[in-house]
């Protein structure tokens, strides 16, 4: 199954807001619909956003205003702007050239995820590994297989996976809804844990590695990823557990010198005072909702891309 693709003249994508209850594919014909799908997280995850950005330029039919709006639909994952730029660079060649460039972004992502899976699995030592992860970095966050969860899948295929501990990932529950769904489909043993249990379980021992994805890696290695990643990095450092970032080269942003320059999306209070549409805080409660945090490079043991392993 592909999470996002170009089919018969339209973008097709899995509506991730409906999982795990329903597997529904949306057909998207306009940039406006695609921006709306990106902003409500029907399509999400840095590599998938890169492909959405590239395919969206085909839908934009050369309209610079629409292309700019698409590029800015979400600010933190650099892959979105990167994908838009990759396709938009071919606007002079006409629609067919833009489409070919966008399909190459899709195909490169598939190849990159497979390569990251192999390289990440090669990097980790041990036979029966217990992996902790946050958010969703699987096939749903890319076109196929994904980044950190792609490494998990490769470990599982090699018979080297003991268990995955998946953080539920409040407020939008990508871990509880999406990562568990993907792990169940691949037949990989897993347990869901509360976000706040992560550092405690690392301290208790028995976790072999933390594997996470990335939305933007600054030039100095500081890495923005789903909120909660920084707490896991601190817990991993204290427990002596390797903390490994798995992301394609397209997530590395040489134009951003360090983490403090990364724009962190704040998605507003609504997602915090409610859980799946049910209000859990008193009416009128103020809330802040940073969707990502930044892990300083000195807490990262290695960054695995499709081309290399970057160490501190
Ligand atoms: O808000 P989301 O669900 O788009 O956030 C996604 C993440 O933080 C992922 O960890 C990241 O994009 C890497 S996905 C392979």
**Closest of 289, 275, 138 to residue 227, by C-alpha:** 289
What residues form the annotated binding site for substrate? 44-46, 74, 174, 225-226
Average pLDDT of the chain is 98
Q: Which of 46, 179, 224 to mutate to test the pocket of ligand 1 (most atoms within 8 A of CB)?
A: 46
Q: CB 283: neighbour CB atoms within 10 A? A: 6
- Indicate which atom in ligand 1 lies nearest the CA of residue 74: 4
DSSP state of 226: E
Share of the chain above pLDDT 90, in %: 99
Report the separation in Å between the CA atom of 79 and the middle of ligand 1, taken as the mean of its atom positions.
11
State ipTM.
0.98
Q: Residues 44-53: what's their mean pLDDT?
A: 98
Tokens encoding 213: 């994805």
Q: What is the mean pLDDT of residues 214-224?
A: 98
What contacts 134, CB < 8 A, 6 or more positions away?
A: 166, 167, 169, 175, 195, 198, 212, 225, 226, 228, 229, 232
Residues 178 and 186: beta-carbon distance below 8 Å: no
pLDDT at position 312, please? 84
Question: Which sign does the torsion angle of CA 272, 77, 221, 111 carry?
Answer: positive
| Backbone CA torsion sign across 50, 67, 271, 277 | negative
Strands (E), the chain: 4-7, 10-14, 25-28, 129-133, 161-167, 190-193, 209-212, 216-218, 223-226, 243-246, 252-253, 274-275, 278-279, 292-295, 302-304, 309-310
Q: Compute the distance from residue 92 Cα to the ligand 1 centre, in Å.
A: 32
Q: pLDDT per residue over 238-286, tens digit each?
A: 999 999 999 999 999 999 999 999 999 999 999 999 999 999 999 999 9
- Quick one: the chain helix, strand, coil %, rounded to 5? 45, 20, 35
164 CA to centre of ligand 1 in angstroms? 18
The answer to whether 215 is a known catalytic residue is yes
In sequence order, what E strands does 8-61 have? 10-14, 25-28
| Pocket of ligand 1 contains residue 216 by CB under 6 Å | no
Return the bridge partners of 191, or none. 165
Task: Give residue-wise pLDDT tens across range 13-37.
Answer: 999 999 999 999 999 999 999 999 9
pTM over 0.80: yes
CA of residue 258 to ligand 1 center, whole Å: 19
Count other Cβ atoms within 10 Å, centred on residue 72: 12
Mean pLDDT, rounded, for 122-140? 98
Cα 154 to middle of ligand 1, angstroms:
20
pLDDT score at 28: 98
Rounded to 10 deg, the angle between the 46-60 and 78-88 helix axes is 30
Q: Choose the catalytic residue: 108, 195, 215, 253.
A: 215
Return the percentage of the chain with pLDDT > 70, whole number: 100
Please identify, by atom number, the ligand 1 atom nearest to the C-alpha of residue 213. 13
- For residue 228 and ligand 1, the question of a CB distance below 6 A is answered with no
Which residues line the annotated binding site? 44-46, 74, 174, 225-226
Q: 213 CB less than 6 Å from ligand 1?
A: yes
Question: What CA–CA distance (Å, rounded) separates 1 from 62?
Answer: 30
Q: What is the pLDDT of residue 272?
A: 98
Ligand 1 binding pocket mutation candidate from 51, 214, 247, 306 (most atoms within 8 A of CB)? 214
């Amino acid at each position: 199954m592909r999470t996002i693709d170009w089919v018969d003249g339209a973008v097709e994508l899995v509506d991730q807001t409906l999982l795990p209850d329903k597997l529904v594919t949306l057909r998207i014909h306009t940039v406006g619909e695609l921006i709306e799908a990106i902003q409500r997280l029907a399509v999400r995850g840095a590599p998938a956003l890169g492909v959405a950005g590239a395919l969206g330029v085909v839908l934009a039919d050369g309209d610079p205003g629409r292309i700019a709006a698409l590029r800015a639909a979400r600010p933190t994952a650099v892959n979105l702007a990167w994908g838009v730029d990759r396709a938009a660079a071919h606007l002079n060649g006409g629609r067919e050239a833009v489409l070919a460039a966008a399909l190459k972004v899709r195909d490169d992502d598939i190849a990159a995820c497979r390569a990251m899976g192999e390289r990440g699995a090669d990097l980790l030592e041990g036979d029966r590994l217990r992996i902790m992860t946050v958010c969703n970095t699987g096939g749903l966050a890319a076109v196929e297989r994904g980044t950190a969860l792609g490494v998990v899948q490769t470990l599982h295929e090699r018979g080297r996976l003991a268990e995955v501990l998946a953080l539920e990932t409040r407020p939008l529950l990508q871990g509880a809804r999406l990562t568990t769904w993907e792990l169940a489909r691949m037949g990989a043993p897993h347990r869901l844990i509360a976000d706040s249990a992560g550092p405690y379980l690392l301290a208790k021992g028995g976790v072999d590695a933390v594997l996470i994805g990335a939305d933007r890696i600054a030039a100095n290695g500081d890495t923005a990823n789903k909120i909660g990643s920084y707490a896991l990095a601190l817990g991993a450092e204290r427990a002596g557990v390797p903390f490994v970032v798995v992301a394609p080269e397209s997530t590395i942003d040489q134009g951003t010198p360090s983490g403090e320059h990364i724009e962190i999306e704040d998605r507003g209070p609504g997602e915090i005072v409610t859980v799946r549409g049910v209000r859990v805080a008193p009416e009128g409660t103020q809330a802040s909702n940073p969707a990502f945090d930044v892990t300083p490079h000195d807490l990262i043991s290695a960054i695995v891309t499709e081309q290399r392993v970057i160490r501190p």
